[in-house]
Structure 1
Amino acid sequence: MKLKIEWDRFIFDAHLHIGTFGTQENKAGSNFEIFQDRELHNSEDIHNFMKLHHIEKAICVPHYTAKPEESFTKFNPLVLHAVETIPNLFGGLWVNPAQPSLTSQALSDFYNNDKLKVIKMNPLTWGNTITPDPKTWPEKFAQSMKEILSFAKENNLIIQTHTGLGNSSINKYDPFVDFLGEKLDGLKIHFLHMGGSNAGHLMFVPRFINWLNQGYDFYTDTSHTIGYAPWYLIKECKEICPKGLNRIMFASDEPWGIFQAGLEALKALPLDKTLFQKILYFNAERLYCKK
């Protein structure tokens, strides 16, 4: 039976990007615009996007490009302006432990701004040899990471971190969680994309449930998931970790993802109305908007 949902009241997009990615060089040596006309360049675009898709609330984070400083200098300011001008938009600022001084400056922007909820980072931007595994961290990187995690915990901010291929593979987070252990107590981490690939989903689901059962305050979302993955996680949570059902959120990851496709994929799952609305709205609202 098709669910009857008041879409204009109960959509929370937990992760989308603002800024202009620009061009990317392909293997043939030519430049192309990978997003064409789909990017959300500024506050007006974000506002119109939310209105078009009846999104009640959203988390906006910076784009990132091949020029690592641009996320700090160009896109973090766009987030600050967007959350100031759009009532139900909340934001996350970009940090990178490989750029400690810019990271410290970005963290200072969180003070006295309750519209900022997220510290966003991506291991793919840390360098070829650095992963979430603390054994790969140079000294200055480790100091910056400590600053980030401590700041997040002290200010009740959520870490959004990318999962996917290569240096962002979920199995590289195992030593991160094991090494930090009790230091993660009280820290909220949102693992984006549920592992981010076919192999990643298969590795992510048992790890995520195991971490939750150990008491970690972790979350994930439906963006960039292959068809079976959300239902696989939901079914496992129902059977062995019911509290995990409160930690799965809807996210589009626009423009890397496509909002309509992600929404239709969620609607296709065999969910009752209560669980459907929790994933689509209430789980994110509880995490990002409740003090």
Structure 2
Amino acid sequence: MNKRENAGFPSEIEAALPDSRVYQMQKPSPMGIGRRVFSIHNHVGDLAPWPYYESEEAFSPADPGPSTTEELRSSMQARGIEKTLIIPNYGIPVQAQPFSHNELVVKLCGEGGDKVAGALWVSGLPQNRELTESALQLLGKPNIRALKMSYILGGTADPNKWDEQTLRQHEMIFRAAVEYDIPIQFHTSPGGGSDITGFFEMIKRYGKELKVHLVHMGGGTSGHIRLLSQWKDMVEGGYRVYLDTSWAIGFAVRKLLQELDRTGIGADRVMFGCDEPWSDFESEFWKVQGVKGVSDEIKERIFWGNAEEVYFKK
């Protein structure tokens, strides 16, 4: 018996759609933020338990994301987040699962007024072509301001490694993003298909037309160092590259802010994201707020000013 059967998942779709959920409504944080904050990386929707890695039993490593406007508002108010960009929750090896939350993203964006923007899940894998085409048909819905892609579930960011079908799939997605003039948020993490070196190749080929948002600043120590070494050249080279500070290690955020303050290069390209419920708002906030010797202007840009221009300005 395989782990999925042992966990009681009769099909991939049922694994992606749990029958019940518990969302803990949240109270305001006592920490006192004292800043205007927009988060451009928050997950919404449930994620089914899964037998991760060596586990023989299914479990949920993170809390569920908000699934109603009331829950989303509670989450934002508890953290002092004025505006947020939401994306489908994901993290189990079921291709259809994150697509299943696109309609939720559309619904919450429609109900959230000017406080909520959203990114739709799409995939560069040819096997997900129909799901991706359906997702792209939702572009133009109120407050949909981005697309979201991740190679955790397969594939690679390096266009030199794409076959013809994969190339066509990616270029279909990229054309749609350029047409609507919206960024694609790409998950980055060290090694494998999400390694920053693959994104460098993508940016060289497509980045002067396509807005490429590199989530997590390249991901991990090696990714951060590689990204920091190329940041100035990418921005000055005319590439439309954006970053957020979620899940980034402290040294990288500190170094980036120091360079933004010293040179101003790319100061309009870096944004704050807390990646709830996979990370936590408090540590993500203080990772930026706590950097010493950096002007308040730079921090204001990161905490809300750049997000206003990139994701919330109509």
The residue aligned with 2:6 is none
Tell me if the contact between 1:93 and 1:119 (Cα under 8 Å) persists in the aligned partners: yes
Range moving further from structure 2, 264-273 or 86-95: 264-273
Q: Deviation per CA, 1:231-268, whole angstroms, max 9, x where unpaired?
A: 1112233445x231221111001111111111122111
Q: Distance in 1 between matches of 2:238 and 2:142?
A: 27
Structure 2 CA distance, aligned partners of 1:68 and 1:43? 26
Q: Which residue of 2 aligns with 1:62?
A: 88
Task: Evaluate the alpha carbon distance shift between residue 184 and residue 22 of structure 1 in structure 2; reply closer, same or farther with a 3 A threshold.
Answer: same
Identity %: 29
- For structure 2, the residue ranges without an aligned partner over 5 or more in a row are 1-31
Structure with greater strand share of residues: 1
- Paired residue for 2:273? 251
The answer (yes or no) to whether the contact 2:122–2:132 under 8 Å persists in 1 is: yes
- The residue aligned with 1:103 is 132
Q: TM-score, normalised by structure 1?
A: 0.89
**2:120 counterpart (75, 82, 93):** 93
Q: Does the residue aligned with 2:117 lie in a helix, a strand or coil?
A: strand
Q: CA deviation at 1:57?
A: 0.7
- Partners of 1:191 and 1:184 in 2: how far apart? 12
Amino acid at match of 2:195: S
Q: Which moved more, 1:205-214 or 1:231-240?
A: 231-240
Alignment-derived partner of residue 43 in structure 1: 69
Partners in 1 of 2:287 and 2:256 — Cα distance? 14
> Is 2:115 the partner of 1:115?
no
Aligned mates of 1:289, 1:42 — CA distance in 2: 21
Q: Distance in 2 between matches of 1:252 and 1:55?
A: 10
Q: Give deviations 1:94-118, integer Å, cap 9, x for gaps.
A: 000211111111011113x240001
Q: Do the aligned partners of 1:164 and 1:196 also contact (CA within 8 Å) in 2? A: yes
SS in 2 for 1:284: helix
The amino acid that maps onto 2:150 is N
- Alpha-carbon contact 2:106-2:142 (below 8 Å) kept: no
CA distance in 1, matches of 2:210, 2:179: 9
1:275, 1:97 → 2: CA distance?
35
Q: Return the alpha-carbon distance in structure 2 between the equivalents of residues 184 and 262 of structure 1.
A: 28
The answer to whether the aligner puts 1:152 opposite 2:168 as a matched pair is no
What is the CA-CA distance between 1:45 and the residue it aligns to? 1.8
CA contact (8 A) 1:43 1:78 kept: no
1:71 matched to which residue of 2?
98
Match of 1:33 among 60, 73, 76: 60
Q: What is the deviation of 1:208?
A: 2.4
Counterparts of 1:5 and 1:49 in 2: how far apart (Å)? 15
**How many residues align structurally?**
276
RMSD: 1.8
1:193 deviates by 0.4
Shift in CA distance, 239/202, structure 1 to aligned 2, threshold 3 Å: same
- Name the CA shift for 1:41/1:5 in 2 (closer, same or farther; >3 Å): closer
Contact 2:216 2:247 (C-alpha < 8 Å) held by counterparts? yes
3-state SS in 2 of match to 1:141: helix
What is the CA–CA distance in structure 1 between the aligned matches of 2:47 and 2:185, rounded to whole Å?
A: 20
Question: Aligned to 2:285, which of 252, 263, 267?
Answer: 263
Question: Residue 213 of structure 1: CA displacement?
Answer: 1.5
Which amino acid counterpart does residue 103 of structure 2 have in structure 1?
P
State how far apart, in whole Å, the 2-side matches of 1:203 and 1:24 are: 33
Cα distance, 1:177 vs. partner? 2.3
Task: Using the TM superposition, give the Cα deviation of residue 6 of structure 1 relative to its aligned residue in structure 2, in angstroms.
Answer: 4.1
Partner of 2:242: 219
Q: TM-score, normalised by structure 2?
A: 0.83
